[in-house]
Chain A
Amino acid sequence: MRLHLHIVTALTLLAASAVSVAADLDAASAQAQAQRLAVGVCGTCHGPHGNSEQPKFPRLAGQNPDYLAAQLRAFKAQTRGDPDAIGYMWGMAGNLDEAVINALGKYYAAQKPGIGRRGDAALISRGKEVYEHGVETAAVPPCLSCHGPGAEGGGNYPRLAGQHAQYVLKQLNSFQNNMRDVAIMHGVAQGLKLAEMRAVAAYVQAQP
């Protein structure tokens, strides 16, 4: 009986370790596939290591993995509806499986973000005001309450530090007119004037 128990235990451990090895292999395979995609496909627009030079395409280096994975799932499910998402990313993400989506999130999270880029000091200063204190008269809450004091984001809230101002501005417009249907950001963006959007976009772009 005791021997039988040992055998069962050994087989169980063996099976568990086989499952674990298989899972590791799958994860390694997904990570390798993600790296290949990131370098050979995503990087054409999003830049080497996710540090895009073109303001049309967001910088992904250092982005929060959960946020990035959530966006890829939204592209795949065709629920994120801003024009560039439809034109580029619906197709691009259409065939990604869950393991590769998560691996892409990890890949970009591990890349070193580019440094922030300074711009018009007065605009950045106005943006800092909006970012840190919101717009009380329009009931716009401070951005930092979700995106963090350094615009580093966290969890499902995206990192904004160093992001292209043009991209951020376009997203705020998309939230405002509900092309990008995110209730919380629709509420925030509705209260923002164009000048305030420009300012806050310039501010987050300047953050390291």
Chain B
Amino acid sequence: MTQRAWTFRFWMGAIVVLSAAGLVERAEAVPSFARQTGMACEACHTVYPELTHFGRTFKANGYVLDNLRQVRGVNARRGELLDLSQTPPISIMAQVSWTQMQTSVPDVQNPDVSGFAQNGTVAFPQQISLFYAGKIAPRLGAFIQLTYGNDSGSIGIDNVDLRFADMHILPQDKSLVYGVSLNNNPTVQDLWNTTPAFGFPYAASNATVGSIAASQIDGTLGQDVAGLTAYLYWNESVYAEFGVYRSAKQGDANAVTGAAGPLDGTSSNVISGVAPYWRVAYEYTHDRHSIEVGVYGLSVSMLPGLTDDVPTPLSGAKNEFRDVAEDVQYQFLGDEHIFTFEATRIHENMDLNASFVAGSVANSSNDLTTIRATGTYYFRRMIGGTIGYFSTTGSTDAGLYASPGAGDPGVVTSASNSPDTKGWVAEINYVPWLNTKLSLQYTAYSKFNGGGTNYDGVGRDASDNNSWYALLWFAY
């Protein structure tokens, strides 16, 4: 397989992983939490899935706050053996959507002519998810999501966050929440919607063209890893977390035994050892305002493994990714008006020694920077909208961001070998009930995969990927 074909495969694989990771399909609003706590969605969410301060504290405490009748069991000393809600915390979520691109993509049978593929994609459903979200036992809670997606046509594991948390009362009645999270997507356990796993857009089409690059912490590792992190949350204002992630592949098998593990050279992009993750944030609340500033990051050492369909032993040179990000959030929570500003900047340094030795990238070192900023307004939690800006820029690399070859349909290629993608997204929402949302979203690109016009080298412009997306999203 040629270098171009390898990189095409690599990034198409990445896009598939991103989709599976929930980068384009996110969900955090779960009515089972409302049933468990007896509180309406508004306690934890401005409008789902964006969290309020109370929602963040509920999550930090392990999803266990419970006001339901319990099935109890105690030992002879009245020690607690069982404390089980009489109603299981089960929820169902569905998304139905329609997507219209400005210009449809070429049909693979007629790659030189745009417009042969269907435009106006109906997704019925785009996604249906089943959740177990709530208390398992005292101090132990879970957010487990199983998702059917129309892109895969199958049911698979989605975001998972298992938590143990407890609280210690400090002098002057200040709280110290401490806990651990076992999860499968870096930042899925985070308390703010500035970080990638539950960041805006909360729902997006899976029938448009995905841009060519994303950093590791920006959804690339979702459902592909298992992480164990420990955190402290002091006085509901200072949050600190540290943990490690290790590859936990879905659907891969050992070539010798046929068993689910251990991973071998037939798996691709396997984390060498563990990848450290860290997060520090500070939130200040006053009156109806809250402001958060924070930093987070991930350092990944990756063995390429399967390359160009050729198994490659999991040893030797590695690709190193160091992600460092900053985030800020401002929330105003009035009875009538709600406003939120969220922004994050993720910077990734790559030392791609393994890929460089294999000849699949042009530079041994690259960098990538993603910036997202959004402003959201809601009136009476019923009508609102969001305007967001997004930008990904980075070094050019003819291997990572390949130009099209002869007969290549383009679309996901970059004529300039650049990952630069910039644009705006605007969304209006109508929320007739707190668990039902109707959205209309428009995404406009000023630059896509490095260019405004003929970005892919086959004549496609960035604006051809602009799209309308209508969504019905409800959860029960």
Contact = CB atoms under 8 A, between A and B. Distances in A.
A49 to B, nearest CB: 6
Contact of A39 (B69, B167, B335): B167
B137 interface: no
Given A36-B167, A45-B54, A88-B40, A54 B65 contact: no
Interface string B221-258: 00000000000000110000000000000000000000
B40 A86 contact: yes
B173 A88 contact: no
A41 B165 CA distance: 14
B415 to A, nearest CB: 53
Interface in B64-92: 65-69
A87 B287 contact: no
A53 B57 contact: no
Contacts of B235: 48
B67 A91 contact: yes
Q: Which of A35, A40, A41, A53 has the most CB of B within 10 A?
A: A40
| Size category of the binding interface on chain A | 20 to 34
B174 A53 contact: no
A48 B174 contact: yes
B39 A91 contact: yes
A38 interface: yes
A135 interface: no
- Determine chain A's interface SS by DSSP, over half rule: helix
Interface residues of B, number: 30
A53 B235 CA distance: 14
Contacts of A36: 167, 169
B175 interface: yes
A44 B167 contact: no
B333 A53 contact: no
A41 B68 CA distance: 16
A48 B57 CA distance: 14
Interface of A: 35-36, 38-41, 43-45, 48-49, 53-56, 86-88, 90-95, 170
Interface of B: 37-40, 42-43, 53-54, 57, 61, 65-69, 167, 169, 172-175, 177, 235-236, 285-288, 333, 335
18 contacts: A35-B169, A39-B167, A39-B174, A41-B65, A43-B173, A43-B175, A45-B54, A48-B174, A54-B288, A87-B39, A88-B39, A88-B40, A90-B38, A91-B38, A92-B39, A94-B38, A94-B67, A95-B67
